[in-house]
């Protein structure tokens, strides 16, 4: 945020627009330019905030499949919990811009950025003075460019924070790249104007020559006004959050009736815009409507969200001439975005920190001493020893059978030998609660590079015709809806037999079978959440209930006086690329 440079020579004793102070004989003897203290302080505040915001923003952007520049720069970008740094840097940048405007007005320095100085761009000639004048005009133009870019970045950043995606994401990312290029061009332009000493001026402070301006204390005024403005924004954000009120009712709803139960008519809904996920008709966005009530024993939640397809095809298998193949080889990277099921994840965090309660850590290796994430995207875990309660509904893995898996996000676990050898998937702090799972996969684990060829199933359908019939109308377009009532899973004990070559030979080429085996059901802490779900009119509706208090350290207790925050993520036939929102929903229990 250094001030524009001198556009033309001034007579001796005239105003020096480059430094904001008036020439004196001593100053004229010192041919090395200086900048006033206020400009230097604000410049470095803005510069540091801009760099921090850009680097963390590029890390966030690099997570998107369509990112190009950010992915190229990814090895040089910070990793881990970058969300907090990104938002704090954004607020600091807003403070710096606000403070600089106050500083210019209070210090009577507004002529520094006068548009009339752009006339220097028309100066002709090859003399040193003419070249210097033109570079001065270029610097003024660059200042107005970065003001405009910063304004757009601020506006689009606020829109993203409030849950707006689409073209806003593109514009925000594009302006970030422009700002990144500006840093290099801005430095070059200053060097071309006055050489190395022009750059070093930001380390050589001088006082404002205008005594009246000094007495107005412009730097103090900038801080006194800028800090409350930023503080007011933060206060308004906290006060403007949505609150999910959980009223007590005499009797809880009948889950089988979904939202038709009369209890839900009195529950006050909260709508949460979520964005930057995969699919959802190419938008990557959906709005989740949330309701909640409780009775003496249980808490009940209802969720409804738009999803243009009823997706249950979680990595199915198809028989080809050389054997069985997974329909989506991206399962090897844990980054399936085609043949997968719909899901909904809900977390209840005692922290309202950025990045889903501070649990989101981005990068190819956010934990240096742990195995790298298979998909290179990062991990979920906490760093303070706490646990975040997670409910995850998985359409093809028990979701349509009336269960939601009770999970958690906690401290990173110690990797097993298999996980270190990439013979199993390490998940840092994201795991199911203690107990047994209700499902397993019908194929062995293969890490990056796997599933490219034929695989041997663990089990085969006992009656392949009956299994195919349960799939309903089989449309292998990954975004095609599965038929109402279809089952894209097999019950291991009743529907399957162990794999043998003889049994496999009876199944014709072209047969499709599910990749999911349902086992004996959830047990332990992992069990306990009952649910019902249905898809109609391009919307999923999910209702779920759990005991108010479970006694588990992995769960929150839904009791008045407990404070926690809710985040939701919707998955449209994708494994990990869910939608997200920045602002938490505060849960108020009555």
Asked if residue 442 lies in contact with residue 490, where contact means CB atoms within 8 angstroms, the answer is: yes
Crossing angle between the packed helical segments 37-62 and 83-106, to the nearest 10 degrees: 150
Reading the block at residue 308, the tokens are: 């243009």
Task: For residues 68-94, give the mean pLDDT.
Answer: 94
Is the residue at 25 inside a domain? no
Q: Is 81 found in the same domain as 212?
A: yes
pLDDT tens readout for residues 523-536: 999 999 999 999 99
Reading the block at residue 267, the tokens are: 């529950």
Q: Is 446 found in the same domain as 372?
A: no
Question: Interior CA angle at 157 toward 153 and 160, to 5°?
Answer: 140
Q: Is 486 found in the same domain as 378?
A: no
Question: Interior CA angle at 90 toward 87 and 91, to 5°?
Answer: 90
- Compute CA 91 distance to the chain's CA centroid, rounded to the nearest angstrom: 18
pLDDT of residue 98: 87
Is the residue at 26 inside a domain? no
Q: Is pLDDT above 70 for 23?
A: no
Is the residue at 20 inside a domain? no
Q: Is 499 found in the same domain as 553?
A: no
Task: Name the domain boundary from 470, 498, 520.
Answer: 520
Task: For residues 245-249, give the mean pLDDT.
Answer: 96
Query: Among the listed ranges 7-16, 296-305, 370-379, which one has the minimum average pLDDT value?
Result: 7-16
What Rg, from alpha-carbon coordinates, does the chain have? 30
Q: Is pLDDT above 90 for 231?
A: no
pLDDT of residue 18: 37
Please provide residue 514's backbone torsions phi and psi, each rounded to the nearest 5 degrees: -65, 155
Q: Is 482 found in the same domain as 375?
A: no
Task: For residues 344-364, give the mean pLDDT.
Answer: 96
**What's the rounded Cα separation, in Å, for the pair 446 and 375?**
13
Reading the block at residue 414, the tokens are: 């110690």
Domain containing 228: what range? 35-239
Q: How confident is the model at residue 232 (pLDDT cuts 50, 70, 90)?
A: confident
Is the residue at 455 inside a domain? yes
Q: Is 166 found in the same domain as 52?
A: yes
pLDDT of residue 213: 75
Q: Is 223 found in the same domain as 122?
A: yes
3-state SS, residue 247 = strand
Mean pLDDT score of the chain: 91
Q: Is 122 found in the same domain as 44?
A: yes
Residue 284: Cβ within 10 Å count: 22
Query: Among the listed ranges 226-240, 269-283, 447-461, which one has the minimum average pLDDT value?
Result: 226-240
Query: Among the listed ranges 22-26, 451-455, 477-481, which one has the minimum average pLDDT value?
Result: 22-26
Q: Is 446 found in the same domain as 370?
A: no
Reading the block at residue 7, the tokens are: 């556009």
Percent helix / strand / coil, the chain, rounded to 5:
35, 20, 40
pLDDT tens readout for residues 298-333: 999 999 999 999 999 999 999 999 999 999 989 999
Q: What is the pTM of this model?
A: 0.89
Burial, 424: exposed, middle or buried (Cβ in 10 Å; 0-12, 13-18, 19+)? middle
């Amino acid at each position: 945020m250094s001030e524009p440079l001198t556009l033309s020579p001034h007579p001796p004793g005239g105003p020096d627009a480059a430094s904001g102070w008036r020439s004196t004989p001593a100053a004229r003897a010192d041919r090395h330019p200086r900048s006033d203290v206020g400009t230097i302080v604000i410049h470095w505040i803005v510069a540091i905030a801009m760099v921090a915001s850009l680097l963390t923003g590029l890390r966030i952007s690099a997570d998107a499949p369509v990112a190009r520049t950010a992915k190229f720069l990814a090895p040089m970008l910070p990793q881990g919990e970058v969300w907090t740094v990104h938002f704090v840097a954004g607020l600091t940048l807003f403070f710096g811009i606000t403070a600089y405007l106050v500083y210019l007005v209070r210090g009577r320095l507004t002529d520094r950025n006068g548009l009339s100085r752009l006339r220097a761009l028309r100066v002709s000639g090859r003399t040193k003075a003419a070249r210097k004048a033109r570079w001065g005009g270029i610097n003024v133009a660059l200042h107005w460019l970065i003001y405009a870019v910063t304004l757009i970045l601020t506006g689009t950043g606020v829109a993203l924070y409030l849950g707006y995606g689409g073209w806003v994401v593109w514009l925000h990312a594009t302006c970030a790249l422009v700002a990144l290029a500006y840093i290099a061009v801005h430095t070059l332009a200053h060097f071309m104007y006055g050489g190395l000493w022009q750059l070093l001026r930001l380390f050589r402070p001088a006082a404002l020559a205008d005594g009246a301006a000094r007495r107005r204390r412009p730097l103090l005024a900038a801080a006194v006004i800028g800090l409350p403005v930023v503080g007011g924004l933060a206060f308004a954000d906290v006060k403007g959050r949505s609150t999910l009120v959980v009223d007590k009712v005499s009797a809880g709803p009948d889950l089988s009736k979904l939202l038709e139960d009369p209890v839900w008519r009195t529950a006050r809904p909260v709508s949460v815009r979520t964005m930057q996920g995969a699919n959802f008709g190419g938008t990557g966005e959906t709005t989740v409507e949330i309701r909640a009530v409780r009775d003496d024993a249980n808490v009940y939640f209802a969720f409804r969200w738009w999803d243009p397809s009823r997706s249950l095809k979680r990595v199915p298998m198809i028989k080809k001439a050389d054997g069985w193949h997974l329909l989506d080889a991206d399962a090897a990277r844990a980054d399936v975005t085609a043949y997968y099921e719909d899901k909904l994840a809900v977390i209840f965090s005692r922290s309202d920190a950025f990045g889903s309660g501070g649990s989101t850590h981005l990068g190819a290796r956010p934990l240096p001493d742990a195995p790298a994430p298979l998909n290179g995207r990062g991990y979920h875990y906490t760093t303070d020893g706490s646990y975040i309660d997670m409910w995850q509904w998985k359409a093809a893995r028990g979701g349509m059978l009336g269960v939601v898996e009770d999970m958690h996000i906690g401290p990173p676990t110690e990797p097993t030998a298999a996980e270190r050898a990439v013979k199993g998937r390490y998940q840092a702090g994201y795991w199911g609660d203690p107990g047994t799972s209700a499902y397993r996969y019908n194929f062995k684990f293969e890490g990056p590079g796997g599933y490219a060829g034929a695989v041997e199933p663990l089990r085969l359908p006992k009656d392949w015709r009956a299994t195919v019939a349960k799939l309903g109308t089989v449309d292998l377009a990954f975004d095609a809806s599965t038929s109402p009532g279809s089952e894209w899973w097999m019950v291991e004990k009743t529907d399957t037999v162990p794999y043998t070559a003889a049994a496999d030979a009876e199944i014709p080429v072209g047969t499709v079978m599910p990749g999911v085996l349902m086992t004996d059901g959830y047990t332990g802490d992992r069990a306990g959440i009952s649910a019902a779900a249905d898809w109609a009119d391009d919307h999923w509706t999910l209702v779920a209930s759990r005991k108010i208090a479970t006694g588990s350290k992995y769960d929150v207790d839904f009791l008045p006086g407990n404070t926690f925050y809710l985040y939701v993520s919707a998955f449209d036939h994708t494994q990990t690329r869910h939608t997200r929102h920045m602002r938490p929903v505060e849960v108020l229990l009555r």
